[in-house]
Structure 1
Amino acid sequence: MKTYLYHLEFPAGAHFGRQGIGLEETRETVPSDSLFSGIVNALALLGEAEEVLRELNDQPPPFTLSSLFPFGPGAGNGQGRLYALPRPLTSPPVEDSTLLQRAGKDIKKIRYLQPSDVLRWLGGRPLGERDLGLLRERARPLARPWDAESGEGWFINELRPRVALDRSSQNSSIWWCGVVHFRRGAGLYGLVRIRDDDCGKRLEAAFRLLGDMGLGGERTYGLGTFRFDGFVPLEEVWGDLGDLRKPGRYLLLSRYAPTPEELGRLTETLTAWEMEESRGFVVSGRHATTLKRKRVRFITEGSVATEPLAGRLVDVTPEHGPALGLPHRVYRSGMGFWFP
């Protein structure tokens, strides 16, 4: 298995839904189970979905996807691209326990870290007050909303007006849809582990087709289409991370659903975790349906474990899907992608 990095740029903006009422909220990331579903739909149009889904039960699977996270330009144009990874849910190792008490609030405000800082956070070497200060400073520009005064930021969230018509009276009512626009030089990136070259070519074809189909919601209005330039070996982008490559703890960069064999080891393996419910409707190929898929709870990005856990595909086919004309099973990915 070899790890690659890829960039997605969204010239028309995108709507990545969040849990809650209405469409006003949009996030700047895409969870791995949603990305996986888009890839499977693209593979279905290419006539290869059934074969790939069968192979995904192998060990190792043909590919494993991380969630999508923001990247953007460095401050002052001297740092090239910066990459944001979610902050681990554990506390950082520190030289003095009182340091966490003094800096705890500032640490909790951090949402993203650079890759090398994630490894320092996960490692066993204690960090001093100066180390934490530099870490917070490096985290400051990551995935910030656009600030017109400073001219810094990676994206802008806007509310776009929509009009709904009542079916019987034809009365109109206005509602709002949240849209995220990434500035030039910013977008989303993902990591993928690929088993062999044949799988890599098949996956690249699916990404290029998905770029035309669109990712996220409101695709009817042109949102979610993206540019994809192919997979790049991770070491060519992030370089050699040196001795920090084996920190003893692992950060989850995807949604994760444990296998039956892993369930009994979760209490001793997971150090910190959060869970989130995934729900929604079935999309088959290019067509949305009125069928709700089964709900499933995933362990989410930012969770920390002492060993990488494999995870599994989760069958979320509606209970009466076949009787209602759904011609295939429906899956969400709970395969774990761990860093490093």
Structure 2
Amino acid sequence: MSSESRTVRPFSVDPALNGLFADATLSFGSQHCAAGSAITVSDSFEHCEVWLRWAPDGRHSDFVQRIREGVPGSNLRLDDCSVIVVARNGYFKMRELVYRHSLADPSGLGTDVRLDLVEDGGQRRSVFRGGSHSVQVDAYVVLARTFSQADRCPLRPWRAGSWLVRGSFAVRSRNDAELFRPQRLDRSQRERLGLLDGTVTFPEFEGEVADPEVRGSEAVVFWVDEELLLAIDAQRRSPASEAIQRWLFAEFVAAVIHRYARDAAVSSDVVGHTYDDCNGSLIGRIAALIAGRGAGSAERDDLLKVMRDSPESAIARSQDRVSLLGSARKAVKEDAS
């Protein structure tokens, strides 16, 4: 008996859509990743342009034609659907919608699309930033609207976001290391830690944040209310969920910076730390993240000093680095509309 897992779709999809993205290619700098495979990139991760090409040279028109045939063949109208691309980042523990195109006009799909820049500002998307992390990029044909009860029928998707076909690409860093993994704060953990019912987050430090020999998950366990994590997972594509995920990461960074400042106040070993002293440690990786990939050792040394002497200033810089304000504004606008 085969143990291979497969996705079971509760509706039928026209054969023209099957494997639609099988010949698509994700370009990460000079490296290319085929659908369903993975590539490993160097420490230039943060500077690489990211492009997704839908089909090989000379076959783009075939790709568009398959959409024109496959969507109606799945008992849907073209304007019911969109092509979207979502990037998921293990460093920030978040996902970001990086591309959307309505299939009301399939011919408007260019041969390729750049994914790493925010359209309205030209800044690099947070999901493609960070010192050492992996990214998974998923391309989908999805239902763009939710059908009314009267318009629903068997073997046809009806909920917005339901996907008809998917292609996945994995990009790994040679320095890949997980920085942030929130743990579920349930009733038993609240009682053990002596936390009140309204507590949202709690950092439980178990090791030195400036010790390169201590992995991030060994230095601190970051507890987050169990029901909040479940709600985020259920609505993970919503602007509100994205804003909360960024806020949680910012809270984690703030807690680690405050811990580092506290350690510096009571230990002469931490005072005068350079980046070389703590490279690879939790605080070292956070310093690299905030300073940015282009920063030199002197700039990172200066940032560590700011963390020790004025942690609030370093925390304010980290909020900019994870685009906290932009995601909060987006969530508020979405709620107001």
Give the TM-score of the pair, scaled to structure 2: 0.22
Larger Rg: 2
Give the TM-score of the pair, scaled to structure 1: 0.22
Q: When you count helix as a share of all residues, which structure comes out higher?
A: 2
